[in-house]
Amino acid sequence: MANRIYAALPVLLAFPQLAQAQTDAPAPDVPAEAAIAQTSPSFFEVPGLQLKAFADAGFTYNSNRPQDQAAANLYHGFDVGTGFGVVWAGLDSSYTLGPGSLVLDLRVGPGASLFAGPDAAHNLEYVKQLYVSLAYAGFRVDFGKMNTPVGAEVAESWLNANYTRGLLCWLAQPFFHTGLRASYTFEDVGSVGLYLVNGWNNSIDNNAGKTFGANISLGSAGLWSASFSYFVGPEQPDMLTADDGTTVMDNDANGRLRHLADVVLSVTPVEGLTASLNGDFGIESTVDGESRWYGLAVVGRYQFLEQWAAAARGEVVVDPQGFLTAVNNQQLWSGTATLEYSPIEAIILRLEGRVDRADSAIFPTADGSTTRLQPTFSFGLVGKTS
């Protein structure tokens, strides 16, 4: 198996590609929002090889006009700054040989570091996914760095109904896991997946413990889908630096567990109209006690003409202990409206208005003060292979 993997790597790196790995190598973790978007075919045809590419850039205006333009949009994901900017570009590859396959997704740009989190400290921000798979008769085993099954939104903007990523996606959910996934797909019914991974968003673990997860996905193609996920494991570092610079062992870190339950429901009541609901509930034990958070997101998208679509998203995130937002007793609300135009399959243009509201005055303004509202306006341009 290893010889096959190393033999395939030069081929993968020689030809650009991109796509969501859930599309390239089907697994039980396809988020509901991905079903809203169109899937582009590979632009280079080689038996067993799929290749896709994209670039994402845009413009964002924050009507509060905060002084720090580079980090103006609080609690936003890939659009943290104002003005013009490149979000990221990507090349996705998958190669299948018999029952085995290899997935390699590469990213460059500011979004790559934001998505990578702790992985950026280990020069792994350019590798969004890298895993090998072995499949037989509905069973599948994946090993490596892979996208999470949690949530309705994904990292690639055009696979979601809205251009910006919501509060729930950015604050309350993991992006990826590194480890082992075993799954079984039931034809025309759904799939079940089990995970044994390092934890949330870390290819290099920060403790000796491991995180366990499970995902159940059900649905009827083009009509409805449902996904249920649960992850539990230690996420706090077990090696700490003392005030005098020495390293000390936190023997209790691996016993302080983080629990996350996630549900995603999606329906297509009529042709062109898709609605989804995503709910999360999380608990983590800390040295100071226990932190809890929960949230809900409702998204709708309507394709009213062949080249035109409109979408809306409403969210609430409740963070009593400030675990997600670093502000105690915080409650966030967000509303987003998006207009989409796709003149050709390879180009997607989006115009978006969004308002975030907080219980506390936390959003920065032009005079250095803070306010409870954060109105932003975005224009996004995505070019992808078709």
118 by DSSP, 3-state: which?
A: helix
Would you state the pLDDT for residue 7?
Answer: 39
- 308: its two tokens: 């035109």
Question: DSSP label at 302?
Answer: E
What are the two backbone dihedrals, phi and then psi, of residue 238, each rounded to the nearest 5 degrees? Answer: -100, 0
Closest CA to 108 of 121, 93, 131, 127: 127
Domain assignments of the chain as residue spans, ordered by start? 2-384
Q: Within 13 Å and on the Cβ side, how many CA atoms surround 231?
A: 30
Would you state the pLDDT for residue 19?
Answer: 37
Measure the CA–CA gap between 301 and 276, rounded to whole angstroms: 9
The total number of residues written for the chain in this structure = 386
Residue spans of the chain under pLDDT 50: 1-30, 32-41
Measure the CA–CA gap between 132 and 104, rounded to whole angstroms: 9
pLDDT tens digit string along 175-220? Answer: 999 999 999 999 889 999 999 999 999 999 999 999 999 999 999 9
Would you state the pLDDT for residue 44?
Answer: 60
Would you state the pLDDT for residue 43?
Answer: 54
CATH number for the domain whose boundaries are 2-384: 2.40.160.10
Look up tokens 């990507």; give the residue: 90
pLDDT tens digit string along 147-166? Answer: 999 999 999 999 999 999 99
Asked whether the beta carbons of 160 and 180 are under 8 A apart, the reply is: no
